[in-house]
């Protein structure tokens, strides 16, 4: 290998150190824990709570109509909502603990929780 | 034409800095044109110039070239004084300081690859710290640290290798253009 000629002995050490550093920081990717449950709230009260295991669709009635929530293994999303701006639908899949989709007009929210509660909420 | 009152004498060193900074700015533009899956993850090709300058012309010249690159690059790409500018400035400052220290390492053992990796880690470390302290005061910023660190390692190594090759391919007494 031509390129190997440019790597000096200490460089390997630095590379190994860098790799170790990357390895050490890896747990940060999961610092919020894994997504385990979805909590669906209606008008502030818990409407239903599901393990993010098997597929299921949930219809949540609100003042404007029905909000459709889909649960899958490891993730959940709002499929349809009668609200005018569709913010919660467009948020797509929620897969990290703390993520929440709020359909304010219909007063429905879907929140993901993990084992540990690190954040009150996360939104992008 | 009236003679100018102030006479700016341009030294060979000035010309060299200008040329090298131009090369660095060009690489910054190339960098910006490469699509990135995540803001903050990019090859940092301009650092190749910084490394070559550091090893061949010393730390002070490297500071000049990097500083001019950040300034001119941000003006050309339109993020001068925007958050991205301060992120770039912090990253560059920290990696220059790191390079200043790392340059003292015995050259027989630690080559451009080491310098490049250390600088890359300092760069992303500085950016993450500034982002945490100023832009997004929330520990969620650190969620993607492993991705950034891995990118720093990979791109740091590649840039270091390219810099090492450039240094080996061009004779030391390169004419200062």
CB A58 within 8 A of CB A40: yes
A29-43, A70-84, A102-116, B83-97: least confident range: A29-43
Interface test with A, best of B38, B55, B101, B109 (most A CBs within 10 A): B109
pLDDT (average), residues B98-110 = 92
Q: Is A16 on the interface with B (CB under 8 A)?
A: no
Residue B83 lies in a domain: yes
pTM: 0.72
End-to-end Cα, chain B, rounded Å: 29
Q: How does residue A5 score in pLDDT terms, banded at 50, 70 and 90?
A: confident
B110 and A10: CB-CB below 8 Å? yes
Chain B: residue nearest A121 by CA? B140
The CATH number of whichever domain residue B139 belongs to comes to 1.10.1760.20
A9-18, B2-11, B17-26: least confident range: B2-11
pLDDT (average), residues A101-116 = 87
Reduced to 3 states (helix: H, G, I; strand: E, B; else coil), residue B158 is helix
Which of chain A's residues have a Cβ under 8 Å away from the Cβ of B150?
Answer: 22
CA dihedral A106, A111, A117, A118 (to 10 degrees): -90
The token pair that represents B46 in the structure block: 């301009």
Which residues, in sequence order, are bridge partners of residue A72?
A75
Residue B136 makes CB contacts below 8 A (sequence gap 6+) with none
Nearest to A14 by CA among B114, B150, B157: B114
CB B156 within 8 A of CB B121: yes
Residue A108 makes CB contacts below 8 A (sequence gap 6+) with A40, A41, A42, A47, A60, A62, A67, A69, A78, A81, A88, A102
The token pair that represents A70 in the structure block: 């889909």
pLDDT (average), residues B163-167 = 93
A56-60, B29-33, B36-40, B136-140: least confident range: B136-140
Residue B75: give the domain boundaries: 12-169
Which of chain A's residues have a Cβ under 8 Å away from the Cβ of B106?
Answer: 10
A21 and B121: CB-CB below 8 Å? yes
More confident residue, A64 or B144: A64
Residue B34 lies in a domain: yes
Residue B2 lies in a domain: no
Residue B84 lies in a domain: yes
pLDDT (average), residues A56-65 = 92
Distance CA A52, CA A35 (A): 7
Bridge pairing between strands A100-103 and A108-113: antiparallel
Work out how many CB contacts closer than 8 A connect A with B: 75
Rounded to the nearest angstrom, the minimum Cα separation between A57 and chain B is 30
pLDDT (average), residues B160-175 = 82
Residue B174 lies in a domain: no
Distance CA B23, CA B29 (A): 10
Which of chain B's residues have a Cβ under 8 Å away from the Cβ of A7?
Answer: 111, 113, 161, 164
Chain B: residue nearest A26 by CA? B146
At residue B162, does pLDDT exceed 80? Answer: yes
Distance CA B26, CA B20 (A): 10
B164 and A32: CB-CB below 8 Å? no
**Residue recorded with tokens 């760069």:** B123
**Among the CATH numbers 3.20.20.190, 2.60.220.10, 2.60.320.10, 3.30.1380.20, which is that of A37-113?**
2.60.320.10
Residue B78 lies in a domain: yes
Please state the domain count of chain B: 1
pLDDT (average), residues B85-107 = 93
Distance CA B49, CA B61 (A): 11
B109 and A10: CB-CB below 8 Å? yes
Which of chain A's residues have a Cβ under 8 Å away from the Cβ of B39?
Answer: none
Q: Is A9 on the interface with B (CB under 8 A)?
A: yes
Which of chain A's residues have a Cβ under 8 Å away from the Cβ of B118?
Answer: 14
Q: How does residue A31 score in pLDDT terms, banded at 50, 70 and 90?
A: low
Q: What stretch of H or E contains A45?
A: strand A45-51
Residue B3 lies in a domain: no
Bridge pairing between strands A108-113 and A37-42: antiparallel
Q: How does residue A12 score in pLDDT terms, banded at 50, 70 and 90?
A: very high
B161 and A14: CB-CB below 8 Å? no
Give me the sign of the Cα torsion angle A54, A56, A61, A66: positive
What Rg, from alpha-carbon coordinates, does chain A have?
A: 21
Q: At what angle do helices B83-102 and B59-77 cross, to 10 degrees?
A: 160
The pLDDT of residue B143: 81
Which of chain B's residues have a Cβ under 8 Å away from the Cβ of A18?
Answer: 117, 121, 149, 152-153, 156
Residue B176 makes CB contacts below 8 A (sequence gap 6+) with B12, B13, B15, B16
């Amino acid at each position: 290998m031509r390129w190997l000629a440019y790597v000096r002995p200490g460089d390997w050490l630095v590379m190994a150190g860098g790799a170790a550093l990357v390895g050490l920081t890896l747990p940060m990717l999961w610092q919020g824990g894994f997504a385990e449950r979805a909590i669906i709230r209606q008008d502030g009260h818990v409407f239903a709570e599901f393990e993010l295991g098997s597929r299921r669709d949930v219809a949540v009635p609100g003042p404007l109509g029905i909000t459709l929530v889909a649960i899958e293994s490891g993730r959940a999303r709002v499929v349809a909502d009668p609200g005018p701006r569709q913010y919660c639908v467009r948020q797509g899949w929620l897969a990290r603990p703390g993520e929440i989709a709020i359909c304010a007009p219909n007063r429905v929210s879907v929140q993901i929780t993990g084992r540990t509660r690190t954040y009150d909420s996360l939104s992008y | 034409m009236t003679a100018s009152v102030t006479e700016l004498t341009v030294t060979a060193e000035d010309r060299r800095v200008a040329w090298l900074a131009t090369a660095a700015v060009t690489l910054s533009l190339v960098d910006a044109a490469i699509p990135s899956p995540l803001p903050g993850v990019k090859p940092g090709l301009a650092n190749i110039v910084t490394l070559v300058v550091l090893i061949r012309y010393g730390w002070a010249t490297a500071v000049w070239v990097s500083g001019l690159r950040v300034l001119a690059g941000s003006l050309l790409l339109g993020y001068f004084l925007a958050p991205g500018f301060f992120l770039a400035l912090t990253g560059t400052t920290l990696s220059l300081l790191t390079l200043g220290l790392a340059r003292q390492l015995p050259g027989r053992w630690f080559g451009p690859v080491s310098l490049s990796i250390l600088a890359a880690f300092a760069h992303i470390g500085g950016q993450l710290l500034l982002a945490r302290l100023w832009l997004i005061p929330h520990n969620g910023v650190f969620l993607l640290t492993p991705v950034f660190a891995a990118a720093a390692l990979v791109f740091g190594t590649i840039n270091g290798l390219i810099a090492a090759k450039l240094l080996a391919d061009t004779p030391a007494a390169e004419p200062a253009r």
